[in-house]
Every structure is written in C-alpha cells, then in structure tokens.
Amino acid sequence: MATTLQPRSSTLEHAPLAPTRETSAPNLWARLRKIQPTFLALLGGIVIWEVAGQLAHFSFLPPFSAVINATWRMTLSGEIPSNLVVSLVALVIGYLCAIVVGVPLGVLMGRYSTLEYLIDPYINAMLATPSLLYVPILFGIFGISRVTQVAVIFLYSVIIITIMTMSGIRTVEASYVEMARAFGANDRQMFRQVLLPAAMPTIIAGLRLGMGRAVRGMINGEMIIVLVGLGALLRNYGGRFDSASVFGILIVIVAVAVTCNSLLKVIERRVTRWTE
Amino acid sequence: MRAPLDNPLWRKWSLRLASILFLGVVWEIMARSLHSLLFPAPTATLFALTQLVVTPDFWSAMWTSNQSLILGFTIAAASGIAIGLVIGRWRTAEQVIDPYLSILLATPMTALIPVIILVAGLGLFSRVFIVFLFSLVVIIVNTRTGLRTLDPSLIEMAHAFGATEWQLWRTVLFPGALPGVITGLRLGLGRALTGMVAVELTLIAVGIGRLILDYQATFEAPSVYATVLVVVIEAVLLLRLLRAFESRITPWVAHARYSYRTL
C-alpha cells in the first residue's frame, strides 16, 4: 500500500518556492557558454595581432609571441614578481587607508549636512582636477619615497569612495528613516540598523570604482616617481623603446586590475545578498 | 522673521567659505613655521600666480598644451559617439568589441605613452593621439549606456507607427541617448585633461608640463603650485561650461549632486 503512494513533494520539486543553492548560482557550463563570444573575440584579436606583427615588422607592434616571450623572460628574471609585490603592497595600503578614511567620512557627510557643506568645496575641486597633478605636489611634500606612492593611491581613490558613500546614505528611502524614528531609534541605532545596511550596495559600488582608481593611481604615480614597482618598470622599458616588454607589463597590469575587480564583485555579491 | 542661519542657502555658502578660509589660515601657519623649500604658503602661491599670468612664456605654454586638448578631445568625441551609437544599436557589434573595451578601460593609458611616442615621434600628432586615447573609451561606454537605457517600448512604438531606420534615429534614439552622451563627454573631458598633462609630465616636455617640471627643478615651489592651480581652474571652468551646455540641451535630466563616474 505504501509503495503506491506518490510523495506530495514531487510536485514541489519542480517548482521550488525559494531559490535553492543549485538554482541561484548559475552552473559552470551555462556560464562558459555565455562568455563564448567574448572568448572568441579575444582569440580573434590575438590571432590578428600575431599575424600582423609577424608580417608587418612594425617596431612598435611586436607579434604576440614576442610579447609572451618578453613577459616570460621578465617573470623568470624576477623583475615582474618583485615589482609586482612592491606595487601591490602600496596598492593595498593606499586603498585600505582610503576605505578607512572615505567610508566613515562619507557616512558622516551623508547624515550631517553641515559637515557636507564644510568639505564640499574641496571635493568638487578634487573631482574636477586631473588626479595626475597630485603627484608633483605630493612629491614636493614627501620627496622620493614609498610614502609618496601610497599617498598618490590614497588620494586617487578616497574621493570617489567618500562621494559614493555619502550618496548612498543620502538616498536611503525616507520611509525607512521615518519608521525607525517612529519606533524611537537613537542616532547609533539609526546608523547601524537602517542607514548602513540600506546604503551598502552604493557603498560597495563606490569601493569598486575606488579600486579601479587606486590601480590607476598606482601606475601613474610609479611612472612619474620612477623608483620601484610596475610603473617604474614600465617607464624603464618604455624609455628603451622595448615595446614587447612594455606590452608584457601592460598585460600583467590589466590582469591585476581585472582580478581586483572580480574580487570586489564577489565581495559585493556576498554582502548584498539580502537584496536579491 | 527667520534668522539668517536658518536660510539654507546662506548656511551652505557661509559654511563653504568658512571652511576654505580656515584651511587657508592653517596652511599659511604650517608653511610659515615649517619653512620648507617645497611647501609654500598660500599667499606665496597666489603671488606667484599673479606673476605667472603676466609672463608671455606661460601663455604660449597654455596654448601649446590646449592645442592637443582641443584637437584630441573633439576627435575623440566625434568618433566615440559614433562608435558608441553603433555598439548600442547592434548587438553583434557590441559582442565583438566589448572585451576590448573592458581591457582598454582597465589599462592605465599613461603606460601606453612611451609606445605611442615610439610610433609617432615627439610632435603635436603624438600629443593629440594620446589625449584622444585617454578620452575615447569612456565616451564610447557612456554613449552605449545612454542608448541601452532607452525605454524599449519607445522603439516599439516608433516601429508601430512605421518609422524608417533614419526616422527612428532622429526622433527616438538620438534624443534618448543624449544624456548618456553628455555624461560621456563630461568624463571624457576630465580624462582628456589628464592625458594632456600626463604626456607633458612624463615624456614630451612642452607646455604646462614643462613649466611644472622646470619650476620643480629650480625648487620654485610657489610657482609649481601656482601652475597646478591654473590647470585646476581651467578644469573646473571647462566642466562648468559643459554643465551649462548640458542644461540647455537636455533640460529634462535631473542633476546628480556630484559629477562622478556612473558606470
């Protein structure tokens, strides 16, 4: 008797009410198929690069194989790894300082308009100017040192982080704030339970933009203050017009930028999971 | 009668002014007490600024630098908008070009400067090309976004009324993409300014960059700061101009509080 009974859950299996682990994360094969055109386009580009480089013998466009060779050579000789580590250390320190300063400042500026008006003129000026100009100024203050490079990275990214955080706090739904007040929330509770969680997506978006800016600042700063790091390496090889090595280093830099961005995307997805 | 401090506009501007004055005073005191060769006081900087604007050398440097800016930016704007519109409209074009756009966005263009100089030499063409490269990608990407965020029902409606491709472009696509295009132009202008300065500070010492380097070499810090201040003022003025232009062309768009990247 018991074997003829169909379990009722069979219908539920086909239409789950809540997203299960399997359905919410796209599986690997589906993801691979989606990036197929991207992959093909890149592959096509590499092929064209190789062919053009071999045929045309432009001094500025070495064939892709030459670029790979140069990259491999620099990796083996330790030039790329050591400079990469140096650059990344400065990047991490500068970026973390920018977060530590930018997020609290942005939260306070978003909440208290007095503070916003006080700091407002500097933010506008710094937004408008080409960030590259910070380098001669910081160079004048700190001289040729790693502190300058960390300071450049810090300045490049802190502004966008502050602005996005402030924007996130200010655009929290007024109804949430009113409701919290109606329930008698004090300032601290308001911050922790209403403002910060609601602003989190925008804050994280600001962190991603800040990371992109930080990488840019890392390279620009190192290229002008030629001391150590990937930017300095780039400047040296550029000065010798060794374009194969320059492209090789560029590939490493782009890989760094893309990796950092992907890392932040993963963090973003985990933190804002409740909004899905 | 409300007290002046209640008036929000008065409050805003008085706070801003107070903040700037406060910083100026602090900076002045710090600079005077430090007596560093490389950390000038604001008064010295402003004085150097007045000296700067009367030297003809400065104005010829400004002209040299801005030549590359104007040429590079206009070419980037024209081609960037065109490419962005094509990519936004036709999906296949986008799929092919998109990975390269992502790569170019992530590449620090400063790094390409030595390679470009190797190709094109040290003249105006290289500087124009570098400014062009710096600003092209953001213009393309924002134009595409502008086209993408168009309400698809508008396009359907146009098709329902029997619009040809050209009419579609003229009445729906162009106006709809305009806010995105203007955003792209604004961001592109900022990047173009960076490009203008970057090439002059690193490899081709002409124009404003050369001035900064010269003053740095002779330790004339007030003049270094004054020159940087000039570029900052130019940047702010140009962006304000663009803002005003934007208000006239796309009056229906609400202004974001700060004009940052909206990618």
Complete DSSP assignment for B162-177: T--HHHHIIIIIHHHH
Å from A193 to nearest chain B CA? 25
CA-closest candidate to residue B263, choices B180, B152, B178: B180
> Considering chain B, what percentage of its residues have pLDDT values greater than 90?
13
Scanning A71-90 for CB atoms below 8 A from B yields none
d(CA B44, CA A55): 58
Interface list for A 190-249 with B (CB within 8 A): 209, 212, 215-216, 219-220, 223-224, 231, 234-235, 237-239, 241, 243, 246-247, 249
For B138, the token pair is: 């953001």
Tell me: pLDDT of A156 over 60.
yes
pLDDT at B135: 93
pLDDT score at B73: 96
A157 touches chain B (CB under 8 A): no
Contact (CB<8Å) A215/B108? yes
Give the model's confidence band at A56: pLDDT under 50 very low, under 70 low, under 90 confident, else very high.
Answer: confident
- pLDDT confidence tier of residue A276, bands split at 50, 70 and 90: low
- Interface contact A163-B260, CB threshold 8 A: yes
- pTM of the shown model: 0.78
Under 8 Å between Cβ of B77 and B224: no
Q: Which residues of B touch A216 (CB under 8 A)?
A: 108
Compare B199 and B2 and report the one with higher pLDDT. B199
Q: How many CB atoms lie within 10 A of CB A126?
A: 17
- B43 lies within 8 A of chain A by CB: no
The span from the CA of B203 to the CA of B188, in Å, is 22
Q: Provide the pLDDT for residue B255.
A: 64
B207, with CB counted inside 10 A (0-12, 13-18, 19+), is: buried
Test mutation, A220, A247, A249, chain B, max B CBs within 10 A: A220
Backbone conformation region of residue B162, classed left if phi is above 0, alpha if psi is from -120 to 50, else beta: left
Nearest CA in chain A to B233: A129
Chain A contact present for B202, CB below 8 A: yes
Instruction: Please report the pLDDT score of residue A92 as a whole number.
Output: 94
**pLDDT value for B70:** 94
**pLDDT per position as a tens digit, A58-109:** 666 788 888 888 888 888 888 888 889 989 999 999 999 999 999 999 999 9
Listing DSSP states for A212-237 in one string gives HHHHHHHHHHHHHS-SSSHHHHHHHH
Does B25 or A141 have the greater pLDDT score? B25
Whether A8 has a pLDDT exceeding 60, the answer reads: no
Task: Indicate if the pLDDT at residue B157 is higher than 50.
Answer: yes
The pLDDT, as a whole number, for residue A254 is: 82
Q: What is the ipTM of this complex?
A: 0.76
pLDDT for residue A14 is more than 60: no
Maximum average pLDDT range among A5-9, A233-237, B238-242: B238-242
- A131: nearest Cα among B174, B260, B63: B260
Q: Which helix (H) or strand (E) holds B91?
A: helix B91-106
Nearest residue on chain B to A127, alpha-carbon basis: B260
Q: In the predicted model, what is the mean pLDDT of residues A145-153?
A: 89
Q: Is B254 left (phi over 0), alpha (psi -120 to 50) or beta?
A: beta
Contact between chains at A117 and B19 (C-beta distance less than 8 A): yes
- Which three-class secondary structure string do you get for A93-134? HHHHHHHHHHHHHHHHHHHCHHHHHHHHHHHHHHHHCCHHHH
- Mean pLDDT (chain A) is 80
**CB-CB under 8 Å, B19 with A118:** yes
Picking from A127, A234, A253, the nearest residue to B260 by CB comes out as A127
Per-residue pLDDT at B263: 36
The model's confidence at residue B185, banded by pLDDT at 50, 70 and 90, is very high
**Residue B1: its pLDDT value, please?**
52
Q: Which residue in the set A130, A239, A246 is minimally distant from B194, CB to CB?
A: A130
List pLDDT tens digits, range B55-103.
Answer: 888 888 899 999 999 999 999 999 999 999 998 888 888 888 888 887 8
Give the residue with greater pLDDT, A243 vs B260. Answer: A243
Q: Which of B15, B23, B201 sits opposite A114 (nearest CB)?
A: B15
Distance from CA of B221 to the nearest CA of A (A): 8
| Contacts within 8 Å (CB) and 24+ apart, B150-154 | B150/B176, B150/B177, B151/B176
Minimum-distance CB partner of B259 among A45, A118, A127: A127
Flag whether pLDDT at B50 surpasses 60: yes
A155, A158, A162, A165: CA torsion to nearest 10: 160
Q: Residue A177 to residues A169, A228, B30, B84: CA-CA distances in angstroms?
A: 11, 49, 42, 40
Does B56 touch chain A if contact means CB atoms closer than 8 Å? no
Q: Is A125 on the interface with B (CB under 8 A)?
A: yes
* Cross-chain CB nearest to A117 (options B16, B98, B261): B16
